[in-house]
Structure 1
Amino acid sequence: MSARATLQVAAGPTTPVSDALGAGSSFTHAGYSHSLWPVGLTPSSNEQQATCSDFLPMVPSECLHVRQTSQSEGRSATVGPSSFTTMFRDMSPYINVHRGTTMVIHLPGQLVESNLFGAVMHDIALLNTFGVKIVLVAGSRPQLNRQLSLRKLSQRFDCGMRITGPMELQCAMDAAGSVRFQIESYLGRGIVNSPGRARTINISSGNFITAQPVGVRGGVDFKNTGEMRRLNVDKVRTALDDGDIVLISSIGYSASGEVFNCLSEQVASKCAIQLESAKLIFMHNGEELIDSRSNSVVQTLVIDQAQQYVELAQQNPEVSGDYLLYLKESIKACINGVKRSHLVSRHVDGGLLQELFTRDGGGLMITKHMYEGIRTATTNDIVSIMRLIQPLLDDDVLVSRDQEQIESNVDTFVVVERDGAIIACCTLQPYENKFAEMGCVAVDPAYRNLGKGNAMLGYIMRKASAMGVTKLFVLTTRTAHWFLERGFVEATVHDLPPSKLAKIDLKQLWMKKNCCFKWNEFLLYEMIDRVLTL
């Protein structure tokens, strides 16, 4: 699975940076005072009070579209490692991170009727054994529509909201009850084919939510259509602490005993908010958000990005109402305290586990905070930096250096952090006469050819500019063409600063190649000489 990309539809001052997200990409300027920068973005000397969301790549609205994916059920999740041992080791940090956290998972009625329903229930049971506190919110829209059809009742809507009369309410309760029984039946089996006595899973369900009527809006009486007001948080948390899976339907009750048919997606987001859950997960129809310039799948949005996309997508008939609803409720949840919301395809076998237990996931994630960013390294990153550069040191691609040298110069390192893991690094070493050297460029093999090097180069150029550097140079023996393709020019060693020149063995370097030098201008910044010395 490709690494999560980010996108934004916005207006503001931009400058072309790299082909990290495709030809013609541009990025928002941001203040250099921040310590964490989204991949593909870099600091400048102005606009110091910008927020994290201001740093995200801008994608023109005409370049965004939703792509329908294959809905052939049973499609397996593409988990990278072929080795079970490697895969399990990669999963283990996430098992520890998710243990004890609360997740609200919305199960649409379409999933209950699919061939993968049993597999998803098995995965949810597995999450329970990992110590995840799970709240399931069950939708029953297709089951309700079938009940209405059997009773020869027409579906009535106004402004996209269902009108629920007494007969429709009876159909809604029958549909919700049927879905509830199916979910309880599957989860009650526990982990099938487990050694020894199978661990049973207890399901807690009941009148956990209080609802109120939608009432009369725009002159239309919605009758028994309701909206959730409150969740009995204490009761739900007690059940979760006992190891139960909590099951909530879309049927809510008022304090006076009235029954209301609520929107299950809204119930899920409100439950996640009131429980202060770590995650809200929607099992959707498999749509993918695409950057049409590079045809790459967008896998991460921050709240501002998601809101702007929804505003545009509402005018696009190709985007389904369900997909927009999932996005809206995900945004609402994240704004009100839920850490992350996820849209996971219900047509991928194992998609839920892939999204939760692999670094790159398999769906779309909406979050308040940065999932991937560039920042200055700290002493805590030294071991990860050594892991990245050791293969290149062994192959003589990088200049030899040990852990002690990295420790003493850790403040010169820049790292790309992805969900807590360091996946790329480089250094920026200043010299006299407004020179600086970019070196020790290394990218995790799993993330090569995904624009990480481009992102670091853009960051380094802007950081160098903010430091007053006018000449940025690189020493390399094997990767010259990569830098030449990005605007560097060849130079002689005598163009280097004296202190750097004093460290170079000229006899060895003379055997490589003589170079020439010329000035280059970097767009929207001070003049920077991008020098490549071979």
Structure 2
Amino acid sequence: MSTVFNFTFVPWFRSVAPYIHKFRNQTFVVGIPGEAIAAGKLPNLAQDLALIQSMGVRLVLVHGFRPQVNEQLAIKGQSPKYHNGIRITDSVALDCAQEAAGQLRYEIEAAFSQGLPNTPMAGATVRVISGNFITARPVGIIDGIDHQHSGLVRKVDVPGIMRTLDMGALVLLSPFGFSPTGEAFNLTMEEVATSVAIALKADKLLFMTEVPGIRMRPQEPASEDNPVDTELPLAQAVQILADAPPGLEPTDTAFYLQHCVKACKGGVERSHIIPFAVDGALLLEVYVHDGIGTMVVDEKLEELREATADDVGGILQLIEPFEKDGTLVKRNRTEIERDIGHYTIVEHDGVIFACAALYPYPEAGTGEMAAVTVSPQVQGQGDGEKLLKRIEQRARIMGLQSIFVLTTRTMHWFLKRGFVQVDPDWLPEARKKKYNWDRKSMVLVKKL
């Protein structure tokens, strides 16, 4: 084994370890559309899901079958019929859906049963259990259109799914539900996955999609480094949804985003939109710090946002005690008003509880994270982490390669989060001129 490989593999594996610990015994609901299976992505997805399950994650997999049903309809000389994005399921379409579901369940179970030596599935034992876990009701007549055998989720058998997960099995759900009278209804993968995630109080809902993710500001051109917003606060996701036309196709902005928003509002704190075209996208999203797709996050009453002129008073009030005891360098109101565009804040119920500023030095490819403050009332609740993540995100958008801080008292907090100490001479020339040699601040740098 080459030394180069050792040097890349070991730090990478160590960096993944915190996520392995964090997600053990958590419940993930994963929605895989029929398009991903039609594109030949099932074998690798099964390998990645088996790997995630082997690290202690409890998995519910919901498959879609839109293209497969349309293929069956074409064989029978029929065309698919939709109204407002919902399939109108007549008796022929219901037969096609049942045939497609049977075939796909067979293919999925086969994919999880592979165990050839020298493959990622060698030694893996993944028990796949399906069942009648979904009770459904008819969509009914909308705008005078009878949707016939198309349905909506009425109830999820939570105890049944939980018992199956407790056995160590992977739960596989087709987009079908049954009424108490035994009638079958054709559902959508997206609605089933969302309803199940909410009912189970899942830790994550992950959709494998044809789109790479969501942009917070779709009017801005996507950069090669940052084609999507990797983290989207729920409030902003709601706004994007309000501005977007109805999402009737899987490639429309609103199509998956509406389900992510519904899940977050229903208590699923994190919902993900991940491109199935990228091999290993599921692993990259779950186990790499910034992920690859878009994660919609419910920040509840707390809002993480860029500061405005109205926040100057709140920021001054927050940082004043820390300036008095010498933790922070004193800043006057005029300075903060001038630099307010550099600030990010965490606000709880209208009160600012944390802030940080990013001063870019583009000529040196770096930026200073300054005025980092978390109110004593909320310290230890993760607001510092959220600020750091947002500042890193802002720095990346600006094309910076690193961020640095100057500190006299909180160096350990930064060292634990990937910063390393450097000599003050490392500082960009413009910042070095303002360095207070009497204060003897430590300079800590983090590569992005």
Structure 1 length-normalised TM: 0.56
Tell me the equivalent position of 1:275: 200
Residue 308 of structure 1 and its aligned partner are, at CA, apart by: 1.1
Hey, what's the Cα distance between the residues in 1 that align with 2:121 and 2:63? 31
- What is the aligned-residue identity percentage? 32
> Once structures 1 and 2 are overlaid, which stretch shifts more, 132-141 or 296-305?
296-305
- The answer on whether the counterparts of 2:246 and 2:254 sit within 8 Å (CA) in structure 1 is no
Amino acid of the residue matched to residue 91 of structure 1? V
Residue 293 of structure 1 and its aligned partner are, at CA, apart by: 5.8
Which of 296, 300, 304 lines up with 2:231 in the alignment? Answer: 300
Does residue 1:121 correspond to 2:49, yes or no? no
Cα deviation code 1:93-138 (max 9, x no counterpart): 0001111000000011111122332111100011111110000001
Matches within 5 A, 1:349-498: 349-369=279-299, 426=370, 450=396, 479=427, 481-483=429-431
Hey, what's the Cα distance between the residues in 1 that align with 2:120 and 2:148? 52
Amino acid of the residue matched to residue 212 of structure 2? E
Does residue 1:131 correspond to 2:56, yes or no? yes
Cα deviation code 1:264-306 (max 9, x no counterpart): 1000000000000000000001334344167343211111111
- The answer on whether the counterparts of 2:27 and 2:59 sit within 8 Å (CA) in structure 1 is yes
Which of 266, 270, 279 lines up with 1:340 in the alignment? Answer: 270
Residue 195 of structure 1 and its aligned partner are, at CA, apart by: 10
Hey, what's the Cα distance between the residues in 1 that align with 2:370 and 2:213? 33
Residue 482 of structure 1 and its aligned partner are, at CA, apart by: 4.6
Cα deviation code 1:239-270 (max 9, x no counterpart): 10111000000111001100100111000000
Matches within 5 A, 1:139-288: 139-189=64-114, 193=118, 198-288=123-213
**Aligned positions, number:** 341
Tell me the equivalent position of 1:329: 259
Hey, what's the Cα distance between the residues in 2 that align with 1:276 and 1:315? 27
- Structure with more relative contact order (C-alpha pairs < 8 Å, separation 6 or more): 1
Matches within 5 A, 1:100-115: 100-115=25-40
Amino acid of the residue matched to residue 180 of structure 2? A
Give the secondary structure class of the aligned counterpart of 1:246. strand
> Once structures 1 and 2 are overlaid, which stretch shifts more, 162-171 or 293-302?
293-302
Residue 373 of structure 1 and its aligned partner are, at CA, apart by: 8.5
Structure 2, gaps ≥5 residues long: 1-5, 307-314, 320-353, 358-366, 374-387, 406-423, 441-448
Give the secondary structure class of the aligned counterpart of 2:230. strand
Hey, what's the Cα distance between the residues in 2 that align with 1:287 and 1:342? 11
Give the direction of change, closer, same or farther, for the CA distance of 1:310–1:427 in structure 2 (3 Å limit).
Answer: closer
Give the secondary structure class of the aligned counterpart of 1:210. strand
Structure 2 length-normalised TM: 0.67
**Whose helix proportion is higher, 1 or 2?**
2
Structure 1, gaps ≥5 residues long: 1-80, 378-412, 417-422, 430-442, 458-475, 485-489, 494-499, 506-534
Q: Which runs of 4+ in 1 moved over 6 A?
A: 194-197, 370-377, 413-416, 452-457
Hey, what's the Cα distance between the residues in 2 that align with 1:481 and 1:315? 51
Tell me the equivalent position of 1:312: 243
Hey, what's the Cα distance between the residues in 1 that align with 2:164 and 2:439? 68
